[in-house]
Amino acid sequence: MESRSVEPKITHLMLHCINHRRVCLFCFLSLLFILTAEATEYIVTPAPNDQFGVSVAGEEVVLLRDFTVYWQFLLWLAAMQIISMIDILLLPSKLIFAILGFRVADHSNAVGVLKRKHIYAFVKACPGICINEIANYMDLNRGTLRYHLNILEAKNLVEAHNYRGKVRYFQNNSTYGEKEKVVISALQNEIARKIIYKILDEESNTNRDLALATGISKGTITWHIKQLKGLDLIEENKVGRSTMYSINPVYRGTIETTYVKFCE
């Protein structure tokens, strides 16, 4: 019973407190508005003398220069009109196309867009291609080609993959995983491709056998094997005095799929 009687009192006190705060806030805002109005109040009085060049309070008046700049404004306005018409006067075809509702496209920009479409299509068809191969096939200057490839990269259409100091390009949008990029880049090299194929087919798995099967010198085989081992594509195992090579199981499925897709 005691708790029930206390609850209405608490509610009443809370409402009274809220109302008191509202009254205080209202008074504060009213006072603020009154002070602001007083601060912005001004009184208009007539000027003591409206005659030009005459002293108001006895001070010395010196006329520096009396002139009008209206003619300068007209001259500036005419110059702006002439400048705005120069482009149309020099290229009247633009005016004709503008009247007819056509837009004159920039020829150089249109050519650049067309080149980038061809470059993108080439990279898409030949993943892992390097800039020299693109330049030779498309007969493009390497500087121009780099410019267009940079634009394609900025638009996320192609991506660059650094493989053994050589940059190779792939279609973007997560088309190829990291394993595929490594394998495709390795298979672009003819000697590395032959070595991988022979080991994958298990026809040859020693340095001597690979040299005999491919017709490549042992020194060259050794160098390429070292590169492929550095990429974890190939593993080596000692069997007696011989060193046996095998495909890394982690990459075996990717190599088989990629080899069939791109090399046969």
Note the pLDDT tens digit of each residue in 187-215. 888 888 899 888 888 766 888 888 888 88
Structure tokens at 252: 């075996």
pLDDT value for 140: 86
Q: Name the helix (H) or strand (E) containing 169.
A: strand 166-171
pLDDT value for 255: 86
Q: List alpha helices for the chain, DSSP H.
A: 2-39, 70-90, 92-100, 107-125, 131-138, 142-154, 178-187, 190-200, 207-214, 218-230, 249-263
* Three-class secondary structure of residue 233 per DSSP: coil
Rounded CA-CA distance 186/1 in Å is 89
Tens digit of each residue's pLDDT, the chain (264 residues): 444 444 444 444 444 555 556 656 666 666 555 554 444 455 555 555 556 566 666 666 666 555 555 566 677 677 776 766 665 565 565 556 556 555 555 555 666 788 889 999 988 888 888 888 889 888 888 888 999 999 999 998 998 888 777 889 998 877 788 888 888 888 888 888 899 888 888 766 888 888 888 888 989 999 999 989 888 898 888 888 888 888 888 988 888 888 776 665
Domains and CATH numbers, the chain: 106-176 (1.10.10.10), 178-264 (1.10.10.10)
pLDDT value for 213: 86
Structure tokens at 79: 């110059």
Angle in degrees, CA 17, 20, 22, rounded to 5: 115
pTM to 2 decimal places: 0.52
